[in-house]
Amino acid sequence: MMYAFIPFLPLLAFIVLSFTGHVFKERAHLVAVPAVLLSCLLSILAFLEVADGNILTIPLYTWAASGALTIELGLYVDQLTAVMLLLVTIVSSLVHIYTIGYMHGEPGYARFFSNIALFTFSMLMLVMSNNFLQLFVFWEAVGLCSYLLIGHWYERESARAAATKAFLVNRVGDFGFMLGILLVFVVFGSLQYEQVFGAVSQQAQATIDFFGGWQISVMTLICVLLFIGAVGKSAQVPLHVWLPDAMEGPTPISALIHAATMVTAGVFMVARLSPLYDVSPVAMDIVAVTGGLTMIVGATIALTQNDIKRVVAYSTLSQLGYMMMACGLGGYIAGIYHLLTHGAFKALLFLGCGSVIIALHHEQDIRRMGGLKDKLPVTYWTFVIGSLALAGFPLTAGFFSKDELLLVAWMSGPLGQVLTVCGIATAFLTALYSFRLVFVTFWGESRVDPHHADHVHEPASTMTMPLIVLAVLSIVAGYVGIPEFLHPAFASGDSAHHGGLAAMGIMVAATLAGLAGISAAYVLYVKSPGLPDRFMQQWQTLYQGSLNKWYVDEAYDRFFVQPTMRAAEQLWKRVDVAVIDGAVNGLARGVAWCGWVARLIQSGETQHYALGMTVGLVVILSVYILL
């Protein structure tokens, strides 16, 4: 039962700070940080306990019992859960410590710690869920926490708009997710993982009749509906538009929610429900192609962005595409392996961005940076390590996980081989935009605002220490045998330990692509800094498309937002004003008219009232006699 404290310690921190935040104020971290550090320690113990194949089940209580539906709230820890617990608690612990320095002096300091504690609790409960309903509840809870944290600086219009956008876009995906869970209950009569997974083979060939003749696989429909939820939460095309805007939130939240934890929930969900997806090749292909498309779209947009956080945000899109592509091709272990290594180096890059932003007094445009590597040495070198890992440089964690992922994709068949080629091409783009960011931000002449140039310095140790720890993890995470550890959690999981020319060829191709990207970035942004402008002029259409995010937001605005607004305006005019307001106002006018008529017969003379009473009495007696 002690492992139940893993999620409930952050919950306790949230409750305490919610009621006493005004008391703790600038000392709120004294509540939140110890709670998440204890959760991290317990997660390490759970990891060690399930390392030999054990599975921990912790029943808590019966949540709901109605007819055939019985929902028991409980915790489930296998190898997949254990590695996710480590990811969430380690990154969350480091982000909590980093926040002490980053948010120092902010008026919402205690509220911020309260909300990230709530998020940590929600994410931990999500990965420890043992049934679909519990998964859905905390799936929605992390979405709510995302809304609160993106909009932390709610006095800014841009932050409010970004929070609302994230919330609404995720609701689109969550609607499909909810329908998928309802269909699971209709088909299987249960929402418990073990019962559903045990009955999958019985429903593998079941179909549903659509429109009187079109037969569709039940399992395919369930998997596609559930995947729609993952498309929203893990920012896959076409529901990816919320993630870059979410950079309006404080940088620690960009690292925690939008790099290492919340956005990986969709990948985790597909991996957790692998017994369902394994029996639906169509759904698997949809997952793989969606991931491959997201991988390419994210990388091509990241090439031209000038906001330091948005470059890293679009990198996250691309890497999530890699993970989803691997899961769709049956490489669940490879996908989760890359999810874990990516969590380390992407959190590092986001926190590195935060250090630069704080040092430059909240400047985020890389065109106003440069020449920072000597003034921010710790930030610079840790940022380089994170960029090398992201680019898949040899001997970093990203090198091992990306090679594993691409090899699994290649071995999966023709579709996988096409996507592998796309993945290697994307590896070139990844290295190019990663080191564009390094060279433009840290190298060359300083373009920093002269008012701040003389005051640039390394941030406090509470911010640099997490950078160093994450830099170490960005290397050592590739050497701890994660694929072997995960293997018992997946009956059909394919670890990519294949020998022969395929493995060597994929490794060489991906490594060369990464090195070529780094070299191209060096030539373009260090040796010949005028070349990017020349290419921009020569390829204006492509450049503008990438700079404007391929106009997806504009397309949504034109085809969805504007028609909805026009329809709402017409409904307001024709229904609200003409019908509803007309009915209400008409009733009011009728009452007023009746009052006016009644006023006319109120003469104020007694004989008139006596006559009226007499006539009324005669009428009543006449009716009585006649009846």
How many C-beta neighbours within 10 Å does residue 223 have?
24
- Whole-number pLDDT of residue 448: 85
Asked whether the beta carbons of 57 and 230 are under 8 A apart, the reply is: no
Q: Compute the distance between CA of residue 140 and CA of residue 27 in angstroms, rounded to an integer.
A: 30
pTM to 2 decimal places = 0.90
- Whole-number pLDDT of residue 269: 95
| Torsion angles phi and psi, residue 584, rounded to 5 | -65, -45
State whether residue 479 is helix, strand or coil: coil
Amino acid at 502: A
Which residue has 């940022």 as its token pair? 383
- Whole-number pLDDT of residue 595: 83
The tokens of 138 are what? 């905390």
Q: Compute the distance between CA of residue 150 and CA of residue 154 in angstroms, rounded to an integer.
A: 9
- Whole-number pLDDT of residue 619: 87
How many C-beta neighbours within 10 Å does residue 598 have?
9
Amino acid at 172: V
Report the residue count for the chain: 627
Looking at residue 350, the DSSP 8-state letter turns out to be H
Interior/surface letters 482-499, b for 16+ CB within 10 angstroms, e for the rest: bbebbbbbbeebbbbeee
Q: Compute the distance between CA of residue 266 and CA of residue 294 in angstroms, rounded to an integer.
A: 14
> How far out from the chain centre does Cα 541 lie?
30
- Whole-number pLDDT of residue 497: 52
Q: Respond yes or no on whether the N-terminal peptide bond of residue 238 is cis (omega within 30° of 0).
A: yes
Amino acid at 472: V
Cβ neighbourhood burial of 2 (10 Å; 0-12, 13-18, 19+): exposed
- Whole-number pLDDT of residue 597: 79
Asked whether the beta carbons of 28 and 113 are under 8 A apart, the reply is: yes
Asked whether the beta carbons of 153 and 111 are under 8 A apart, the reply is: no
Q: Which residues of the chain have pLDDT under 70?
A: 212, 259-260, 491-499, 627
Q: Compute the distance between CA of residue 381 and CA of residue 352 in angstroms, rounded to an integer.
A: 10
Which residue has 């002490």 as its token pair? 100
Q: Provide CB contacts within 8 A for 104, sequence distance 6+.
A: 26, 460
Q: Compute the distance between CA of residue 515 and CA of residue 508 in angstroms, rounded to an integer.
A: 10
β-sheet bridge partners, residue 76: 57
What is the helix, strand, coil percentage profile of the chain, to 5? 75, 5, 20
Interior/surface letters 320-336, b for 16+ CB within 10 angstroms, e for the rest: bbbbbbbbbbbbbbbbb
Amino acid at 356: V
Q: Compute the distance between CA of residue 477 and CA of residue 45 in angstroms, rounded to an integer.
A: 18
Q: Compute the distance between CA of residue 112 and CA of residue 28 in angstroms, rounded to an integer.
A: 9
| Torsion angles phi and psi, residue 209, rounded to 5 | -90, 120
